[in-house]
Amino acid sequence: MNRLKQGIIWLRRIMHCRGFGIQSPSDYRFVRYVINEHWPYYAFASFPSDLDSETTKLGKLYFRLANYRQPSIIIDRVGMSLFLRAACSNATILTDCESVELAIIPIEDDYDVLFNRCHDASIVVFHQIYRDKERWEHVKNDHRVQVTYDLYYCGIVFFDTKRYKQHYIVNF
């Protein structure tokens, strides 16, 4: 994506910076210290420098998500295993499994079967959600989904049934 388009996206979402407007303390903490964390982590220096800026940005986000969740099994269908393995060296990275802890899938994938395997602690990340906006709307409105984060480049979905249904737009 070119710099001009990135700038336009950033300006359109400027009112959603750094957790502004989020009333839930846990959601605010997630946005500030996982999604928008700017401090370098221990493994960032080992990542390849020849990747494009969007891949690096998303890879670092997926690293922070895996580091936050610490799953034993990760479903990766978008090819970010380099970043995920750096965060959880003991995790098994698969393309499918029976129970979902952390999954990163393209928006085009069939999510219905995957959602049936999710539990309260599951996190599903949809890669490139604006390739299919209508499908992302269906994901947000699914009865199993509780909290969603729209980062433009990806969407993060939580299934914790103890929480109220909420959708956040985050300037990432």
Give the per-residue pLDDT at 11: 63
Residue 119: name the closest of 95, 144, 96, 137 by CA. Answer: 144
Structure tokens at 136: 């992302």
**How many angstroms separate the CA atoms of 59 and 139, rounded?**
22
**How many angstroms separate the CA atoms of 170 and 152, rounded?**
8
Whole domain around residue 109: which residue ranges? 3-169
Q: What would the pLDDT profile of 25-34 be if each residue is shown by its tens digit? A: 888 888 888 8
Residue 15 — pLDDT band, cuts 50, 70, 90? low
Strand-pair partners of 150: 155, 169
Q: What would the pLDDT profile of 125-162 be if each residue is shown by its tens digit? A: 999 898 888 999 999 999 999 999 988 889 999 999 88
**How many angstroms separate the CA atoms of 115 and 16, rounded?**
28
What angle (nearest 5°) sits at the alpha carbon of residue 86, between those of residues 58 and 84? 45
Structure tokens at 107: 């928006």
Return phi, psi of residue 156, to 5°.
-110, 135
Strand-pair partners of 80: none
pTM summary value: 0.86
pLDDT at 9 over 80: no
Give the per-residue pLDDT at 159: 94
At 139, which CATH number? Answer: 3.40.50
- Sign of the alpha-carbon torsion through 125, 129, 133, 134: negative
Strand runs (DSSP E) across the chain, as ranges?
A: 73-76, 92-94, 100-106, 118-127, 147-150, 154-158, 166-169
Number of domains comprising the chain: 1
pLDDT at 1 over 60: no
| Radius of gyration from C-alpha coordinates of the chain | 15
